[in-house]
Amino acid sequence: MIKEWNLLRILACVSIVFLHSMTLNKGQITAGNAEMFNFIRTLLCYGTPTFVVLSEMILANRYPLGLPSNFWKKRIQFIFLPFLAFGVVDALLDFKLSGMALPENLVNNLVFGMFEGYFVLVIFQFYLLHYLVTKLKLSMVWFLPAALLVTYVAMEITPMNLYDPHLMKVGFFSWIGFFAIAFVIGKHYDVIRETLQKHRLGVLFVFLTALVAFYISHTMIGYNTTVTSRRADLIPFVLSVAAMVIAWGGNIPYQGWMRTINDYSFGIYLLHWPILRVIGPKLVPLFESSVVSILVLFAVTLLATVTSIKLLSYLPFSAYLIGQTRRVYKKRPARPEAEQSAS
């Protein structure tokens, strides 16, 4: 277990639950607070890119030379099947709460990922990219800048509606830059971690600079006020958060509640939104203060989600619904000396 990975996963997971708790309260926000409210929501969108980046960081660290023979079977069982299960849950909720056509919604969710579980399709594209990069031995010297350019162009095109918005949301071209960065970090993790920990104050400065730059871009310049993770100006903040956790995470005590959220993080990602959709409309009107409403909704949702996952975990087939709830990492396979020295 690498502590920084767990902390980054916890932070991303909790941020997304908090973001969606804010989303359910947006009707309560006054005009005077709307600008800051939307800025915080947009900032919290870093959670999904961080979650998918972490998946590739771990993959590149554990399997820098290629994927093991049983890789796809396990991922289909414990990641893709839960994606399908919650695609059905989301479609049923849409039918129940909004009267949306069930057959069409099922196709949209299960085939195109048109619900909050879409990130699973992004992760599977990362798996495929990892296979191709290691199989073809592609050099990051040219692949990394090329991938970043593709992602930047894709994210800049999205607000102009030149392409299908959902295709831009799920398609690899909007995420390939994140993949390349995560591959490099994961493959050279020991060296990068040592460097970041030696320059902690510098990492803190970069984080604060990225935060201020994003505020200027979002609020002062008004570059793009859309609440979405597919923003070119969010990329530096995502990377700075990861760098902060890697540099400073070793100083944070790892407590029991953190272990629970870490182990249940995948299930929390999938289950929290259906729970929010059910309890949110009932809880939000009970509070006059939007701040109190957000905090209560966040706490209740997180508690209800964790409790539900705990109860579901007792079912013999629970791993196919909510993923595996215990994280056990195998020791990284040794690399040939020539590969270790390669950049």
Q: From CA 87, how far away is CA 95, in angstroms rounded?
A: 12
pLDDT for the residue numbered 101: 84
pLDDT for the residue numbered 1: 63
Task: Enumerate residue ranges in the chain where pLDDT < 50.
Answer: 160-161, 329, 336-343
The angle that helices 47-62 and 119-136 make with each other, rounded to 10 degrees, is 30
Q: For the segment 164-216, what is each residue's pLDDT rounded down to a tens digit?
A: 666 777 888 889 999 999 999 999 999 999 999 999 999 999 999 999 999 99
Q: Could you give the dihedral angle defined by the CA atoms of residues 62, 66, 70 and 76, in that order, rounded to the nearest 10 degrees?
A: 80
Q: How many angstroms from the chain centroid is the CA of residue 128?
A: 18
What pTM was estimated for this model as a whole? 0.90
**Residue in the block written with tokens 């908090």:** 18
Q: Following DSSP, what letter does each residue of 11-45 receive, concatenated?
A: HHHHHHHHHHHHHTTGGG--GGGHHHHHHHHHHHT
- Spans of all domains in the chain: 3-325
pLDDT for the residue numbered 142: 96
Q: From CA 157, how far away is CA 222, in angstroms rounded?
A: 17
Nearest to 71 by CA among 214, 63, 304: 63
pLDDT for the residue numbered 336: 46
